[in-house]
Structure 1
Amino acid sequence: MAGLEGTERPRQAAATAAARWTPAVDEELALKALERYGDPTLGEVRLPSCPESTVAARRLTRCVVVTQWGLSAQLAEQAVLLVSELVGNAVQHTGARHFGLRMARRRGWVRVEVRDPSRGLPCLLPVRVTDTNGRGLFLVDRLSDRWGVDLLARGKTVWCEMRVADR
């Protein structure tokens, strides 16, 4: 019994957190992220290079894709995953203090850009079923219709695009 006590607290905390989550709470958090960092559709928003920024970027994406652009839940989930992977790579691999996030929609396309000051290029690695990391760019490659890197005078922009149906 003593061994189970240690696992009950995390389970209770997770159950309590899940009980507090609602779409309204998610939308409120997304709007707070929008107020704090800005709208990535109006220009590049600057985020600190830390794991918490991945959460903020996901919230910004959901807010933009669903609320502003009115895209389907499936496209929203795909866009959120793409942003999460690009931002995660910037946070984990560049050593930057900040990175920029920008999103654009044009006829039939959604584009996501993550700019950082590193000129190190991302590498698409082969992925095996047993791999526990190194899947980020693989997912970007599979989920987006196209992606690439633009080298800048100081840094780079990693971008991806996905096709969307126009209303």
Structure 2
Amino acid sequence: MAGLEGIEQPQRRGGMVADRRGPAVEDEQAREALARYGSPADGEVYIDSRPDAARTVRRLTRLVVVHQWGLGPQLSEVAVLLASELVGNAVLHTGARGFALRITRTRGRIKVELRDPSRALPCVLPVRPTDLGGRGLFLVDKLSDRWGADLLPIGKYVWFELRVVDR
């Protein structure tokens, strides 16, 4: 590309742009998110509702599931995807300035919870193949073992659980 000599360009794979930065850069960005927000496994972490909020939640979720708890990449990928979907719903539908993330582990399960200030309960809508959106809770419903919402005096928790094979 003209004018971009010396600048590393992304590679295309199957129509998608693949980032060459690799796992080391992603790990470093996850550690930066951990330093900024804290670990959602140690308690709630508050995250501003910004364009990069879903990316931050994905990084923190992966960091906890894989690096802190040593669980496998398949479980991590599902947890990351579903946590991202919860964030998308919170940002899109609540109008909140921020939300809180908490991830807990009990024997045989992990639970990812997102707290927002809206008391409007989420619902799974029918999804058609031609729909451009509206798949977030559909994915949560299909890929999690359980999910739900718990009303609070102010706001709610929306959560999902995934089964873990304990060693």
Contact 1:108 1:164 in 2 (8 A): yes
Q: Go from structure 1 to structure 2 and tell me whether the alpha carbon gap of 1:150 and 1:19 turns closer, same or farther (over 3 Å shift).
A: closer
Identity fraction in percent = 62
Partner in structure 1 of residue 134 of structure 2: 134
Structure 1 segments of 4 or more deviating over 2 A? 12-20
Q: CA deviation at 1:51?
A: 2.3
Residue 164 of structure 1 is matched in structure 2 by 164
Q: TM-score, normalised by structure 2?
A: 0.90
Give the distance between the partners of 2:72 and 2:88, measured in 1 at CA.
24
Unaligned runs of 5+ in 1: 6-11
Query: Higher helix fraction: Structure 1 or Structure 2?
Result: 1
CA contact (8 A) 1:146 1:160 kept: yes
CA distance in 1, matches of 2:51, 2:135: 17
User: How far 1:121 moved relative to its partner?
Assistant: 1.0
Q: TM-score, normalised by structure 1?
A: 0.90
Point out where structure 2 has 5 or more consecutive residues left out of the alignment.
Answer: 2-7
Q: Residues 16-72 of structure 1: CA distance to partner in whole angstroms, max 9, x if unpaired?
A: 984532111111111110001110011100000122010000000111100011111
- Does the CA-based 8 Å contact 1:51-1:88 persist in structure 2? no
Q: Which residue number corresponds to residue 5 of structure 2?
A: none
Report the residue type matching 1:48 in the other structure. Answer: D
Q: Secondary structure at the match of 1:104?
A: strand
TM-aligned CA deviation for residue 105 of structure 1:
0.6
Equivalent residue pairs, number: 159
Please report how far the alpha carbon of residue 13 of structure 1 lies from its aligned counterpart in structure 2 after TM superposition. Answer: 4.6
| Alpha-carbon distance between aligned partners in 2 of 1:64 and 1:164, rounded to the nearest angstrom | 14
Question: Displacement of 1:15 after TM fit?
Answer: 3.1
Q: Are the aligned partners of 1:109 and 1:163 in contact in 2 as well (CA < 8 Å)?
A: yes
